[in-house]
Amino acid sequence: MPRNVRTVLIIANLDKDGAAVLLEEMHAYFAARGMKVSVISFSGKPSPPEAGSHDLAISLGGDGTVLYCARLLAGKNIPILPVNLGNFGFITEIPKEEWKDAFEKYEAGKLRVGRRVLLQIRVLRGGDGVFAVTALNDLVISSGSISKLLRLSAFVSGYPIVRYRADGVIVSTPTGSTAYSAAAGGPMLHPEMEALQLVPICPFSLSYRPLVIPASEEVSIQVEEGQRADVILTADGQDVFLLRENDVIQASVAGTRVGIIQSDRRSFYTVLKEKLGWSGGPNA
């Protein structure tokens, strides 16, 4: 069925080459069609403005811009058209040359919207909430110093499963399974799966293995006493919070999903093959 798009939000990372020119082109195209256009543009670290209500959001940048866009629009049920101006681009499947074609196909009802889970993160200190954030990719608990192991206790739905001695730990969504989680040895999951991953970073023991957890479970990480370095929580590589000993970090699948418009020219598996060089040739 055709979709009625009347208001468009463009979120543009002006640090990306060609972003300003493409932003102008998009603005002129939508304005000529009588659509209302709002723009959030930024250089460097973006601030969290009020996004308002729109029929469609366009992320203009790389995967990091999509992560920012997803957190900004969490709970608003606004689909995101991810246009890639970055280098790697697992989430941003649509090259800048295809943006107009992709939009018109979406408007005509020919492109599907993939629903992806978001990670709801809370930090409890003495039982009180001191920090909360939403993430599309992951949360990372890591050391603020080089070569300092952390001591972290992990629980799944209240059940103690492991006490880590490691450089840190990642709690990842399926979307984030191709990011830091993959580099740390975690499996790659289809981004529309309903699951979480718990992945240790450079653990002291090889017995510590990545764990895939149903979306119905809650993961909790407690910062043990006796740390020899600062302990830092990072959400999607963009929001940072300094943890203290005995803090409890709770991570669960949020009640809302983010909609990412899918290209009809390439699938998730095609992107995996291209980005990871699964060609079977000498450079694979």
Tokens 């992709």 belong to residue: 102
Of 63, 167, 239, 247, catalytic = 63
Q: Which helix (H) or strand (E) holds 20?
A: helix 19-32
Structure tokens at 111: 């492109």
Estimate the share of the chain in helix, then strand, then coil, as percent rounded to the nearest 5.
20, 40, 40
Mark whether 101 is an active-site residue: no
Phi, psi at residue 262, to the nearest 5°? -95, 140
Structure tokens at 125: 């200190």
Closest by CA to 204, choosing from 168, 243, 246, 180, is 168
Task: Report d(CA 174, CA 278) in Å as an integer.
Answer: 20
Using DSSP's 3-state secondary structure scheme, residue 211 falls into: strand
In Å, how far are 83, 118, 178 from 115, measured between CA atoms? Answer: 17, 10, 17
Task: Report d(CA 242, CA 231) in Å as an integer.
Answer: 6
**CB neighbourhood size of 46 (10 A):** 18
How many helices and strands (H and E) does the chain possess?
5, 17
Four-CA torsion 184, 185, 191, 192, nearest 10 degrees = -120
Task: Report d(CA 20, CA 27) in Å as an integer.
Answer: 11
Catalytic amino acids? 63
